Structure 1
């Protein structure tokens, strides 16, 4: 399948063009070509295209839209000031982009693990759920990432499971009336993390039994932890609400590692997935060349039809 040239070197024309055209960016001498139409809703994050679009977050989001990306995610949204949250939400709305996940602040980490069942830890988590509601409203968000934290090695695993499930039920009760969804992310960063496998996360979601508690299937982490990506996605599919991307090894853009992303994306598309796929990875190369390579990689692996 033929690929479009997505970036052309040229002088700035300055300011916004017509509503159907591209944007110009004060910090780059590159003018954008007509946008590429992706088959899935890939979501870049701030900083991924800062050399091409400049440091301003709104310029970066407009740049993403001009490349054909129709979604955006920002793990750190809860830490951003309210004015910027509102500007981001308004920009996403104007550009027809979906808002992906942000992380619930202190929603469970190695310092306040939900597996311990301690009231003070659960209160921190529930307070984060409450605060996330207003952030979600400002940014048109629906999904928030939750990591339950580490194991409590002093307790049997069944007791830890019960503590996590009970805490998540209480979080779901807060979010459900607002149509918001916490997505549980199994991670590969440390053997001390309580949540590491897709089947374990599936069991917890079934036990919580709420539309506000689902799986965030991070392909990078789960390739490291268990492999068999398509099989494991298939058997847990009814609880998967969000997907994140990163190749392995290196956690960079698709085509830089061992994962056959063209086949994985073909499978996801075949399931009728209409959700967001967060581009939670780094760039394999530095500067503008590296940012162009990210866009080219997604155009390549998106060509599965």
Structure 2
């Protein structure tokens, strides 16, 4: 049997087992789940069908089912009152909060260009993200480096981005905060983005040479853009501060596609990584069964 077929059948069987319980498909159904070893960090919406729409209910369901961390990429789009509720719920449950986006632009040349008004706005958003990080009791802020400039030689763009990253580091260092920058693939999701490969981000992090500028390794993007996952991760290891997960094709849960997440996560675990692994994907199946299949997938790939 093919690996993908085997795991898909396993996930469906696991979801069916949960669905067959006499208790409702909510917190009570699997309230005694053992915690995951790795710090898998869901985002809102991934488990909404089984946990409910309210952010606090999703967090509580996640806690009861073994997750001890959370993240929210678009946190700053949520009202201040809701941010406070999220933070309070996590802290009461003893859960950690990971990354949120501080500055993000998918249309303008932000880090790679020399437009001072655009760069000043980036720094304004970076400064604002400091207070959000304090509110959420986290040190990780995900800043997107914007578009590339097709009219500007590549080395000039690299120099511009590195210089702006140094200015970001000056803002974050006094607060003990860490900017993580994510490479985004050009082939499927984000053509034209400036930061698109792990070696590129690694070279800039080394040039900035600050504890406040590190890498977010999104395995989905790295696999599509360059592959060679384990050797690439090993080489960039000293600059990686955060991981995100998604299988390809489709950007679904682990073991739904081509990446051997069982081996990859065991490798990362054995190297000593104990940080966040954001669940940056959707479900390969709809509804509650899909939510529970995702949960079962993470039980399958959690290292021992």
**Mapped contact 1:219–1:245 kept (Cα < 8 A):** yes
Match of 1:69 among 64, 67, 70: 67
Unaligned runs of 5+ in 1: 13-24
Query: Higher RCO, 1 or 2 (CA under 8 Å, sep at least 6)?
Result: 2
- Supply the distance in 1 between the matched residues of 2:184 and 2:214 (Cα, whole angstroms): 15
1:11 CA displacement: 4.7
TM-score of the pair, normalised by structure 1: 0.90
Q: Structure 1 CA distance, aligned partners of 2:128 and 2:221?
A: 27
User: Is 1:160–2:157 an aligned residue pair?
Assistant: yes
**TM-score normalized by the length of structure 2:** 0.90
- Whether contact under 8 Å (1:254, 1:297) holds in the other structure is yes
1:139 maps to 2:151: no
Query: For 2:112, what is the secondary structure of its paired residue?
Result: helix
Equivalent residue runs for 1:278-289 within 5 Å: 278-289=278-289
- 1:46-61 maps to which residues of 2 (within 5 A)? 46-61=44-59
Q: 8 Å contact 1:30–1:52 — kept in the other structure?
A: no
Larger CA deviation: 213-222 vs 151-160: 151-160
1:178 aligns to 2:171 (yes or no): no
**Selected match of 1:169 from 150, 166, 170:** 166
1:263 aligned partner: 263
Partner of 1:202: 202
* C-alpha distance after superposition, 1:225-261 (max 9, x if no partner): 0101110000000000000000011100001000000
CA apart distance, 1:7: 6.6
Greater helix proportion: 2
Q: 1:119 aligns with which of 88, 94, 116?
A: 116
Distance in 2, matches of 1:97 and 1:266, equals: 23
C-alpha separation in 2, matches of 1:260 and 1:39? 18
- For 2:131 and 2:19, how far apart are their aligned partners in 1? 37
RMSD value, Cα: 1.9
Which residue is equivalent to 2:41? 43
Pairwise CA distance, 1:29: 8.9
CA distance in 2, matches of 1:218, 1:126: 24
